[in-house]
Structure 1
Amino acid sequence: MSQFPKYYAGLDIGGTKCAVILGRLDSKDASFEILYREAIDTDVSVKPEVMLDRLDTLLAPLFKEHPIAAIGVSCGGPLDSRRGVILSPPNLPGWDEVYIVERLTQKYDVPAHLQNDANACGYAEWKFGAGKGTENMIFCTMGTGFGAGLILNGQLYAGTNDNAGEIGHVRLTDMGPAGYGKLGTVEGYCSGGGIAQVGRLFAHAAIQRGTPPSFCKTVGELDQITAKSLSLAAQNGDETALLVWQEVGKYLGRAMAILIDVLNPERIVIGSIYARSGQLLRNSMEETIRSEALIHSAKVCEIVPAELGEKIGDIAALSVAIL
């Protein structure tokens, strides 16, 4: 008798929303079909146990309707994936030492697994997306933050205490936009907030020269600049916006060169902002990689946008269930 289809549940726990997902695998080579998804607001004013009880009201009925084999939990770090404990994520105040895996296994009598969101997304892209078929792949988040999930020799690599892949914390310059509380980091230049910071610097200089860009006419509008507004302006040919993306691409290239030199991957998959605006970054990124990365390592590594799109969070949580 075939083992398939198999049913899995996923919990995607974030600082704004928490989602419960039900997925089905019809074969070992198929991707997840999402059968159910329901999200609720994350209420940090209540204890974690209260939020988990609310998620149980969505999760419990699924176990009555389907033979769910396992549960996957994706959550921002820090966490301890081996013990299944959420430690103290900055976007989840009060979630200190939450033994979520123990709670789920006791309540539902199935295996449960926990991973940080970058690792979960990396595993999902490797298993079902742009990294499929590779042995050594890096997935880079490029959204609110900038981190990496590492697939090395065909396995997820999380490090000694789940902190591997924190490329966003690496300092590229002594001065520059701040990320992780440090000036000039990868996250400071290449996250959504970092790109906006670069945009403000360039816009302010243009205004002072008497040539304000289309996306920011006055100093009073500087705080309204976002990565999205910069992308739209660049796509419409705004010279200042194009220079911003060229600058960001240069620092993204430096970050990619570090990953290429240290880990020698065959593919780097970049999500979120790169998946939407990669054409604005690619030329300066590739030029920097050519000048800074080891030539033979760079030759065997391709850099591509993520494929799972807006559903990556759902697929990531489900993917943790099959780790």
Structure 2
Amino acid sequence: MKKLLGVDIGGTKCAVLDGEASEEQILIRRKEVFETKQYPKPEHALEKIEELIHKIAGNEIHLYSGIGISCGGPLDTKSGCILSPPNLPGWDHVEITAFLKDRFGLPVYLQNDANAGALAEWRYGAGKGLSDLVFLTCGTGLGAGLVLNGKLYAGCRDMAGEVGHVRLSEFGPVGFGKCGAFEGFGSGGGIANLAELKVMELTQRGKKHPLTELGITAKNVFGLAKEGDKLCREICDTAGEYLGRGIAILIDILNPQAVIGGSIFARNYDLLMPAVTRAVERECLPASAEHCKILPAKLAESIGDMAALTTALGNGAGIGMELNRSRGMQYER
């Protein structure tokens, strides 16, 4: 077993994790969380992360193999620098790996949350044993982590997988600053945006919908849809249709063995999948679609924690060659 430390940095909260990794699983031993807004300046957040690592590891820091950091992009993983993520205002050119290496003397690896999630699902989740997969975050935003030919693919500037920016329709919910973007149909914020438009239509016709009292959020949309609400079912069908169109594009271009959806997709798989399937069957090359499974993330609600800890195994593939030689895959830094 390898002892690992993970840091999951998000716009709402940050977590510091203690885990142990084997060939088959990572066990989360301990988790400490703080709200990101409590530390609006990145230097103060880094000091809090340092404090929590000391709290977790104590005098046994030398027993840990490395520290993995999962954070929304843009990032420069080679230099270990966070580059002004939109959900982290003020985090401009934050050299986080150098900071933690200096404090703890351990290898430190940085990945964006989509790539880190892809690594976790590849190593321990629904993508285990595959050489080619796409992981879709489907959370507050929408991004993709790409494992191609047994290697994480990040692109020349760590910008590969920004599929949320692809426009699927001339009009629709906004994502990535674009009406009708993939993120607009496949993220929590986008689905709430779509629901607002639908509820506004009803309101202007003099009708009231339960969402006006509950609050227009993706969580409430899916909750009411599960109870049989007609409008919320229609919203789910629309989201599923465009998710399917986006997934079909990815399948046609990349020919993966699996597309794995996290967060919203995983939690609401049964609601979304019928429309996703119809769109993929209509839009995708049959030979490619036939050999690609569309799956919910297996790591589900623990994906953020597992992503950070998996990243601690090593950058690039994020897995560690010594743990995977039996798979016959290749890895690159």
Give the superposition deviation at 1:202: 2.5
Counterpart residue number, 1:79:
75
The range that moved more, 280-289 or 58-67, is 58-67
2:268 equivalent to 1:268: no
2:59 equivalent to 1:64: yes
The range that moved more, 89-98 or 261-270, is 89-98
> Which of residues 131, 143, 160 is equivalent to 1:164?
160
Give the residue type in structure 2 aligned to 1:30: E
Distance 1:204 1:113, change over 3 A: same
Counterpart residue number, 1:289:
280
Q: Secondary structure at the match of 2:92?
A: coil
For residues 152-180 of structure 1, give each alpha carbon's deviation from its aligned partner in whole angstroms, at most 9, with x where no partner exists.
Answer: 11111111111111111000111111111
Give the superposition deviation at 1:232: 1.6
Q: Structure 2: how far apart are the matches of 1:54 and 1:144?
A: 24
Give the superposition deviation at 1:63: 5.1
Q: Structure 1: how far apart are the matches of 2:93 and 2:206?
A: 54
Counterpart residue number, 1:106:
102
Give the residue type in structure 1 aligned to 2:280: I
2:189 equivalent to 1:193: yes
Counterpart residue number, 1:125:
121
Give the residue type in structure 2 aligned to 1:57: E
Counterpart residue number, 1:232:
223
The range that moved more, 192-201 or 60-69, is 60-69
Q: Structure 2: how far apart are the matches of 1:63 and 1:166?
A: 38
> Which of residues 214, 218, 236 is equivalent to 1:245?
236
Give the residue type in structure 1 aligned to 2:198: F
Q: Secondary structure at the match of 2:5?
A: strand
Over the residues paired in the alignment, what is the CA RMSD in angstroms? 1.7
Q: Secondary structure at the match of 1:40?
A: strand
Give the residue type in structure 2 aligned to 1:144: T
Q: Structure 1: how far apart are the matches of 2:15 and 2:213?
A: 34
Counterpart residue number, 1:139:
135
Matched-pair identity in %: 48
Give the superposition deviation at 1:50: 2.1
Under a length normalisation based on structure 2, what TM-score does the superposition of the two structures give? Answer: 0.89
The range that moved more, 200-209 or 261-270, is 200-209
Number of residues paired by the alignment? 312
2:17 equivalent to 1:21: yes
Counterpart residue number, 1:48:
42
Under a length normalisation based on structure 1, what TM-score does the superposition of the two structures give? Answer: 0.92
Distance 1:49 1:206, change over 3 A: closer
Give the residue type in structure 2 aligned to 1:191: S
Gaps of 5+ in 2: 319-333
Q: Structure 2: how far apart are the matches of 1:268 and 1:309?
A: 15
> Which of residues 26, 29, 34 is equivalent to 1:35?
29
For residues 88-117 of structure 1, give each alpha carbon's deviation from its aligned partner in whole angstroms, at most 9, with x where no partner exists.
Answer: 112222211111111222221121110011
